[in-house]
Amino acid sequence: MKHLESFLELLQLDVDRYPVIAVVGGGGKTSLIFRLTEELTEQGKTVIVSTTTHMAYEPHRPFAPDGVSETVRENLEKYGYTVAAHREENGKISSLSENKLMELKQFCNVMLIEADGAKHMPIKVPEEWEPVIPEFADVVISVVGLDCLGKPIRETAHRMERTAEFLRKSMEAPITQEDIVKITSSICGLLKNVEDRVYRVYLNKADILDNPEMAEDILEELEQKKIVASCGSIEEAEE
């Protein structure tokens, strides 16, 4: 598989200095996590993938049920990475305790944690109990799908009532570029619970926009707010 661009470079990630990365926001989190995993393992780094909420179980990936240390070590040695989580009967995997995640951290070079849920919707504003960012996380990446632009909040936002309330709009109102900037840069939006951690924004599905300048305008506004952001397409980044 040929990588057309490096997401580590796009997101300016220094994993040697900041090895624990939590990913929050809208749809595309899992895809981004496994794309980063590919890049990292190609560099010879070992990676543990986990969640503080829920993820889909993918049977083709190395998996350590309940984060059993022996299985984690075996998978890392054999594959360079492993998913470590609790297996549920509904086809999902769910969180381990924060103490368990901290214990597993010693076995790998990088830990990637899905710390939010969105039910495949491209954008969201978190509820009071979200996101679930581990205390020991070094970096938070928020993901937004640009396929939300121009579409009603009702159709594109997870937690649509919360999103409409935050934006002070009706649920029939379309998502705008300004809305994405507000959501990704507010401590009541996707900047919530980030605190003094490294923060990055990735705008996914830029390839579907009729006018690429729409994404560039969002990046410029975020840059003015001193937020490091990039755009592209996780699916189109490989061939």
Question: Which pLDDT tens digit goes with each residue over 179-192?
Answer: 999 999 999 999 99
The average pLDDT across 222-229 equals 97
Owner of token pair 């605190």: 195
Mean pLDDT of the chain: 95
Residue 116 CB neighbours (<10 A): 26
Res 237: pLDDT: 52
Quickly state the pLDDT bin for 236 (edges 50, 70, 90): low
State how far the alpha carbon of 109 is from the alpha carbons of 44, 80, 154, 213, in Å: 9, 10, 40, 37
Quickly state the pLDDT bin for 37 (edges 50, 70, 90): very high
The average pLDDT across 101-113 equals 97
SS3 state of residue 177: helix
Residue 102 CB neighbours (<10 A): 15
Q: Quick check: 194 pLDDT over 90?
A: yes
Res 89: pLDDT: 86
Q: Is the dihedral of CA 202, 203, 206, 212 positive or negative?
A: negative
d(C-alpha 74, C-alpha 42), whole Å: 18
Within a 13 Å sphere around the CA of 35, how many CA atoms are in the beta-carbon half? 26
Distance between alpha carbon 187 and the CA centroid of its chain, in Å?
Answer: 17
- CA-based angle 124:128:129, to the nearest 5? 95
Residue of 238 and 19 predicted with greater confidence: 19
Buried b (16+ CB within 10 A) or exposed e, 41-77: beeebbbbbbbbbbbebeeeebbbeebeeebbbebbe
Domains and CATH numbers, the chain: 7-45+109-231 (3.40.50), 57-107 (no CATH)
Residue of 211 and 138 predicted with greater confidence: 138
Quickly state the pLDDT bin for 3 (edges 50, 70, 90): very low
Res 90: pLDDT: 87
Res 1: pLDDT: 36
pTM attached to this predicted model: 0.95
Residue of 2 and 34 predicted with greater confidence: 34
User: In the chain, which ranges are continuous DSSP H helix?
Assistant: 7-10, 29-42, 69-79, 98-105, 153-156, 160-167, 177-185, 213-224
Question: Which pLDDT tens digit goes with each residue over 76-85?
Answer: 999 999 999 9
Lowest mean pLDDT: which of 38-42, 72-76, 146-150, 206-210? 206-210
d(C-alpha 137, C-alpha 102), whole Å: 10
Within a 13 Å sphere around the CA of 55, how many CA atoms are in the beta-carbon half? 28
**DSSP code, position 113:** E
